Amino acid sequence: MRLPCDAALVLIDLQRAIDDPKWGPRNNPDAEKAVASLLAAWRAQGLPIVHIRHDSTESDSPYRPDRPSHAFKPEAEPLPGETVVGKATNSAFIAPDLERALDAFGATTLVMAGVLTNNSLEASVRHGGNLGYRIFVVGDACWAVDKYDLAGRLWLAQDVHDLSLANMHGEYAQVVTARMALAAASTAMLRLRRAQRRTAQAPG
């Protein structure tokens, strides 16, 4: 895995609303820790970060802007100055705001995580892949919930999560671990700093 130094971290819908019991049992209870480690690394390296916030228009959604649960989860709370892009659809790319933010960073490679794996994350990854972005999905920094299929069969959250990652991998994105993403981000910044030193030392 090799990241450019402009690789943007894009976090999808990591708001308190996702903890509402209405969603049902989830997998990957350590996902928030992985998200926090990614954020810490991107901030330390000065790499671009975009927080996607779901602003639901549905009357009963915990993601509605007028609900306390609309707030970001503490592990994913944006810092002052970090980019926040609102959306009211599954894909974060439906409105032009995300592409504009990425263009401002000069980012063509995205490291993506968030919720739900098979819903807004997958929708955004598929859309971004079709737009031509190079995308890495951090599989242990996202999660799914139990889901019934049309025949009434219950699929456990881990199965839903695994199948969603398989849908994305190799077609729209490359699925990686948080450890892989952290190592790649560190290497990208080392390459940038070496290039900056060579430029500074070059004869004028």
Task: List the end-to-end C-alpha distance of the chain, in Å, as a whole number.
Answer: 35
Average pLDDT of 40-47? 94
What's the maximum distance between 2 C-alpha atoms anywhere in the chain? Answer: 71
- Give the per-residue pLDDT at 191: 61
Helix, strand, or coil (residue 124): helix
Asked if 110 and 136 count as a contact pair (C-beta separation under 8 A), the reply is yes
Q: Is 86 exposed, middle or buried (0-12, 13-18, 19+ CB in 10 A)?
A: middle
Q: Which amino acid is at 114?
A: G
- Give the per-residue pLDDT at 198: 58
Helix, strand, or coil (residue 53): strand
- Give the per-residue pLDDT at 12: 98
Show me where the domains of the chain are located: 8-201
User: Does the pLDDT value for residue 139 go beyond 90?
Assistant: yes
Q: In the structure, what pLDDT confidence band is assigned to residue 161 with cuts at 50, 70 and 90?
A: very high
- Give the per-residue pLDDT at 2: 78
- Distance from C-alpha of 142 to C-alpha of 158, rounded to nearest angstrom: 11
- Give the per-residue pLDDT at 10: 98
Residue 61: how many other CB atoms lie within 10 Å: 17
Mean pLDDT in the chain? 93
Task: Report the CATH number of the 8-201 domain.
Answer: 3.40.50.850
Nearest to 98 by CA among 71, 135, 43, 141: 135
